[in-house]
Each structure stands twice: as C-alpha cells, then as structure tokens.
Amino acid sequence: MSAAPPGSPDASDPRAVPLGAHGAAPTPHDPGWLAQELSEFDAERPPRLTPGRLVAGSLSGVLVIALLAWALPWATGASWTQIGGSLSSLPLWALPTMVALGVGALALESFTVRAALPGSRWSSALLGHAASSATALAIPGGSVLGLGLMGWILRRSGLALPLIFTGIVAASLVEMVITSVLIPLLGLASYALSSLMSPTGVTLPGALWAALLALLGAVLALALTAVALRRQVLAKILAQFGHSLPEHIAREILTQRDALVQMLRRRSLQLVAPTIAARALQWIALVAAIEAVGATVPLALTVAIFALGRVLALVPLTPGGAGVSEAVGAAALVSLGAGAADSAAAMLLLLVTMLLVPLLCGALAAVAALSLAPDRHPRR
C-alpha cells in the first residue's frame, strides 16, 4: 500500500510497497502493485486498455465458450440437444430472477466499497466496483487493471488518492477473507459431510485437491498481508528503501496504514455484512436455478456445491473460473441424482448471475463513468 503525500494533486510520486504475495483468487490482492497502477491515473486520464489486453480478453471469452461447449456434455453425459431442450422448458421467472440476483449481489458489494471509503457517494462506489469486477472477469490478469479503473472512477468523484488507496485495500482484504477463505472452508466442510447427507455423496477428488491448493494460496497471501500490516514490520520494510523513498512518503504510508487498521477495527460490520449478503444472494441463485429445472437437492448440499464452485474460481484457468465451475457443479448435481440435461441447464442459468450480469453491468458502468464530468474539488 502506498499513498500520495498530503496536498499532492496529481499523485505523481507514490511508491509501491508490497504488503503480500498474490493469492490464486479471481481478484488477486497485491496492494503494492495496486498502488503502482493507480499512481498512473488522475481525474482526466482513464487506465489504458491496450490492444494486447483486448486480444487477451477476446481469447479468454473464446476459451470459456469452448470449455463450456466441451466440458458440460462431458461432465454430465447430456448432449447439447438435450441441454437445449431443458433450457427451453425453463419457467418464465427463471431468467429475470437470475438477473435480479446478479444485480443485487453487485449492489451489495458496492456497499462494502462505500464503507471502506468514508465520505464517498454510493453511486461512485457502485460504478467503480461494477467496472472493476467486469474488467477482472473479462481480461486475464485484469484484476489490477480493474482496481486501477475503480481508483480512476473514485478519483473523478472527488476522493483523494490516500483515501482511495486505503479504501480499496480494505475492501480487497474483506473480499479475500470472505470469498477466498471463509466460503471455501465452508464448502470443504460441507464436502466432507456430503457422504452423511446423501447416499451417493459428491465424489470429485481432482476438484478437491485443486480447491485445497487454491485455498492454501489465499490463506498464505492473507497471512503475509497481516504480517506486513504490523506497524513495526511495515516501518522496517520502508527503512529498507533508504534514500530511494522520500521521508514524507514513508510517513504518509504509515499514516495510511494506521487509518486502514483503524477502519478494519471500527467498521468491521459495515465492511463484512454486505459482502456476506452478496454471497448469500449468489447461493440463492444456485438454489433457484436447481428449482427452475425441477431437480431436488438437499439444501445443505447446495451450500457445498456453491462453495466448491467459488473455490474452483480461485484456480486461475479462466476468468472467475467460468466453464470450470459450471462443469464441476453440473457433475456434482448429476452425482446427487439430478438429470444430466437439467444439471447442465441449471449451471448455465447460474452463469447469468455469476458472469453475464457482472460483465454487462460493468460495461454500462464504464460508459457512465466516462460520460460524467470529474469533481474539481477533491475531498480528503
């Protein structure tokens, strides 16, 4: 984490100070790289989307489509003709419900962002979060770019860079703890108990090992971040830079560290509750998708399937685990007695909430942010 010195309007001098290693998560958390990215932006210049990134995003989309086209029939044993038949027989409420739950989850997550940015407007937090999420999903390795885009949007709303840096780090830590650690732990516990709740259980040993490795990476990243946030440790890290880091920059970094720790202690409920509620809405989307195709699955096992999908999203094969999570989830539903075509249709329906809605909302948010005039009076 780094921050501009007080009164620096263009933020041209911040230095990146790493707080921890990247975790294998859908949105990697490395505040040092984040600060380096954000330091390139101001209220007049959005982050650059290079041709290489556009090509990578296009190839990523093709990969997800190809993976779904092959993996769903392979995982379930149903042909695409059968899957299409199941999709065509969905009730009228199914698709609007998935869209509404996806929008609701995004809106709730933005409340966490706003809680991490005292004095910010909810509209700016919503635009920044939606655009950031879509960028991370659409572009391989686009998490830092997405967070830079969020920083640019928040900067245009009048927030000072030190506040933006501290707020984004706080929101990212909350996301890491809930989505990359707590939910996977819940899923692994439910997975372990699945044999007691169902005669067949959920037998996915390969996915389990991948999930364990991803979870360990996230836990390691969180542990390193926690160590680096200790004031004495951070002060020693800054001292290592010697003359390469101006003294006033080092003081400001420690000041923002203190603000971050104080925020995490005093606003923990405001930071954590909205993101937990967002994950609950996404789980409800899975339950609704299963209901829409007419399948019957024990409620406790839907928690295991949802959490397993979020764990697999930590494995950086595709953005957000798209394609992998759906195939594994469909296979799990089949193992629990759901029809092959219905299982595939349910996971495709869930994909609307988890991927399509964030992508569309993010694109709209980016367009809206570009059309808004910047606030000429930054708030500190």
pLDDT digits (tens, 9 = 90+) for 46-70: 667 677 777 777 777 788 888 888 9
Give the pLDDT confidence score for residue 185 in this predicted structure.
77
Residues 214, 32, 156, 100: what is their CA dihedral angle, to the nearest 10 degrees?
A: 10
Please compute the mean of the pLDDT values over residues 129-155 and round it to a whole number: 82
Nearest C-alpha neighbor of 319 from the set 154, 145, 114: 145
Q: What percent of the chain has pLDDT over 70?
A: 74
More reliable by pLDDT, 271 or 179: 271
Instruction: Please tell me the pTM assigned to this model.
Output: 0.78
The answer, yes or no, to whether residue 252 has pLDDT greater than 50, is yes
**pLDDT-wise least confident of 239-253, 273-287, 337-351:** 239-253
Contact, 101 vs 281, CB < 8 A? yes
The answer, yes or no, to whether residue 5 has pLDDT greater than 70, is no
Nearest C-alpha neighbor of 44 from the set 78, 85, 10: 10
Give the pLDDT confidence score for residue 83 in this predicted structure.
92
Give the pLDDT confidence score for residue 200 in this predicted structure.
54
Q: How far apart are alpha carbons 354 and 265 in whole angstroms?
A: 30
Contact, 328 vs 336, CB < 8 A? no
Give the pLDDT confidence score for residue 18 in this predicted structure.
31
pLDDT band at 19 (very low <50, low <70, confident <90, very high): very low
The answer, yes or no, to whether residue 289 has pLDDT greater than 70, is yes
The answer, yes or no, to whether residue 333 has pLDDT greater than 70, is yes
Please compute the mean of the pLDDT values over residues 161-182 and round it to a whole number: 83
The answer, yes or no, to whether residue 217 has pLDDT greater than 80, is no
The answer, yes or no, to whether residue 115 has pLDDT greater than 80, is yes
Please compute the mean of the pLDDT values over residues 13-19 and round it to a whole number: 31
For residues 312-347, b (16+ Cβ closer than 10 Å) or e, as one string? bbbbbebbbbbbbbbbbbbbbbbbbebbbbbbbbbb
Please compute the mean of the pLDDT values over residues 364-368 and round it to a whole number: 87
Tokens of 132: 């950031």
Over residues 294-312, the pLDDT tens digits come to 988 888 788 878 887 877 7
Q: How high does pLDDT run on average in the chain?
A: 77
Tokens of 304: 């295991």
More reliable by pLDDT, 14 or 79: 79
